[in-house]
Structure 1
Amino acid sequence: MKKKQLNLTSGPILRTLSELALPIMASSFLSTAYNITDMAWIGMLGSKAVAGVGVGGMYVWLSQGLSSLARMGGQVNMAHSLGRGDQKAAAGFAQAALQLTILFSLFVTLISILFTNPLLQFFALNDAETYNSARIYMRITCGLILFSFLSQVLTGLFTAQGDSKTPLKANFFGLILNMILDPLLVLGVGPFPRLEVVGAAVATVTAQIIVLLILVTEILRDHGEANVLHKIRLLSRPDIACLKGVFRIGTPTALQGSLYCIISMILTRMVSGFGDGAIAVQRVGGQIESLSWNTADGFGSALNAFMGQNYGAGKKDRIKSGYHISIRLLICWAALITIAFVFFPRQISVLFFHEEEVIRLSVDYLRIIGFSEIFLSVEMMTVGALSGLGRTQLCSLISVGLTVIRIPLALVLSNTALGLNGIWWALTLSTVSKGIIFYFVFQYICEHSLLRTTNR
Structure 2
Amino acid sequence: MSINNENENPLGYKNEGKLLVGFAIPCIISMLVTALYNIVDQIFIGQGIGMLGNAATNIAFPLSTTCTAISLLLGIGCATNYSLHLGAGEKKESEKYAGNGIILMAIMGIFLFLITTIFLTPMLKFFGATPDVLPYAEAYTRITAIGFPFLIANTGMSKLILADGSPNYSMTSMLIGAIVNTILDPVFIFVFKMGMTGAALATIIGQIISFCISLRYMFHFKNIKLSKSSFTVSLHHWKNIFILGASACFNQIAMTVVQIVMNNTLAHYGAMSVYGGDIPLACAGIITKVNMIFMSFVIGISQGTQPVIGFNYGAKKYKRVRKTYLLALAAASGLSLIAFVCFQVFPRQIISIFGNGSELYFKFSERYFRIYMFLTIINGIQPVTSNFFNSIGKSRLGVFMSLTRQILFLLPLIIIFPIFMGIDGVMYAGPIADAAAAIVCGYFTIRELKELKNLEKSLEAAVI
Q: 2:390 aligns with which of 370, 381, 387?
A: 387
Residue of structure 2 in register with 1:245 after alignment = 240
Cα-to-partner distance string for 1:375-408 (whole Å, 9 max, x where unaligned):
2222112222111012222132243254233233
Q: Tell me: CA distance 1:184–1:294, structure 2 relative to 1, closer, same or farther (3 Å).
A: same
Query: What is the rounded CA distance, in whole Å, between the counterparts of 1:122 and 1:268 in structure 2?
Result: 10
**In structure 2, do the counterparts of structure 1 residues 200 and 74 end up closer, same or farther at CA, with 3 Å as the change threshold?**
same
Which is further off, 163-172 or 29-38?
29-38
Structure 1: give runs of 5+ residues left out of the alignment.
Answer: none
Deviation at 1:52, TM superposition (A): 1.1
Whether 2:13 is the aligned partner of 1:18: answer: no
Counterparts of 1:403 and 1:343 in 2: how far apart (Å)?
26
**Residue equivalent to 1:118:** 122
TM-score (structure 1 length as normaliser): 0.90
- Is the CA contact (8 Å cut-off) linking 1:79 and 1:305 kept in structure 2? yes
Q: Does 1:55 align with 2:59?
A: yes
Counterpart for residue 408 of structure 1: 412
Residue 77 of structure 1 deviates from its aligned partner by 0.2
Q: CA deviation at 1:372?
A: 2.3
Query: For 2:266, which of 263, 271, 285 is the aligned residue?
Result: 271
Residue equivalent to 1:332? 334
CA gap 1:245/1:407 in 2 versus in 1, 3 angstroms: closer
Which stretch of structure 1 is more off in the superposition, 282-291 or 258-267?
Answer: 258-267
Look up the equivalent residue of 1:310 and give its one-letter code.
N
Aligned counterpart, 2:97: 93
The equivalent residue for 1:290 is 292
CA drift at 1:310 = 0.9
Aligned length: 442
Tell me whether 1:396 sits opposite 2:388 in the alignment: no
Per-residue displacement from partner, 1:409-447 (whole Å, max 9, x unpaired)?
Answer: 223432445x32320221222122212322331221121
Q: For 1:53 and 1:90, how far apart are their aligned partners in 2?
A: 38
The more displaced of 60-69 and 162-171 is: 60-69
The 1-side partners of 2:85 and 2:414 are apart by 44
2:3 aligned partner: none
Specify the code of the residue in structure 2 equivalent to 1:198: T
Q: In structure 2, do the counterparts of structure 1 residues 99 and 118 end up closer, same or farther at CA, with 3 Å as the change threshold?
A: same
- Identical-pair percentage: 22
Q: Distance in 1 between matches of 2:402 and 2:155?
A: 22
Deviation at 1:237, TM superposition (A): 2.4
SS at match of 2:368: helix
SS at match of 2:380: helix
The 1:413/1:251 distance shift into structure 2, 3 A limit, reads closer
Matched, 1:67 2:62: no
After TM superposition, the structure 1 = structure 2 runs for residues 346-365 of structure 1, keeping only pairs within 5 Å, are 346-356=348-358, 357-365=360-368
The structure-2 alpha-carbon separation of the partners of 1:392 and 1:256, relative to structure 1 and needing over 3 Å to count, comes to farther
2:443 is matched with which residue? Answer: 440
One-letter amino acid of the counterpart of residue 126, structure 2 = F
Q: Residue 4 of structure 2 corresponds to which residue in structure 1?
A: none
What is the match of residue 259 of structure 1?
A: 254
CA gap of 1:400–1:208, structure 2 versus 1, over 3 A, is same
Matched with 2:146 is 143
Which of 139, 145, 156 is residue 153 of structure 1 equivalent to? 156
Distance in 2 (CA, whole Å) between partners of 1:54 and 1:48 is 10
Shift in Å, 1:322: 0.8
Amino acid at match of 2:144: T
Asked whether the equivalents of residues 128 and 263 of structure 2 are also in contact (C-alpha less than 8 Å), the reply is no
Q: Distance in 1 between matches of 2:440 and 2:347?
A: 28
CA 429–232 in structure 1, closer or farther in 2 if over 3 Å, else same: farther
Q: Give yes or no for the alignment of 1:304 onto 2:306.
A: yes
Q: Following the alignment from structure 1 to structure 2, what is the Cα–Cα distance between the partners of residues 80 and 389?
A: 8
Could you tell me how far apart the structure 2 residues matched to 1:206 and 1:184 are?
13
1:27 Cα offset (Å) = 2.5
CA distance in 1, matches of 2:129, 2:33: 32
User: Could you tell me whether the CA contact under 8 Å between 1:158 and 1:167 is conserved in 2?
Assistant: yes
Secondary structure, in 3 states, of the residue corresponding to 1:144? Answer: helix
- Bigger mean CA offset, 431-440 vs 94-103: 431-440
Following superposition, the deviation at residue 18 of structure 1 comes to 1.2
Gaps (5+ residues) in structure 2? 1-7, 271-276
For 2:388 and 2:411, the matched residues in 1 are separated by 27
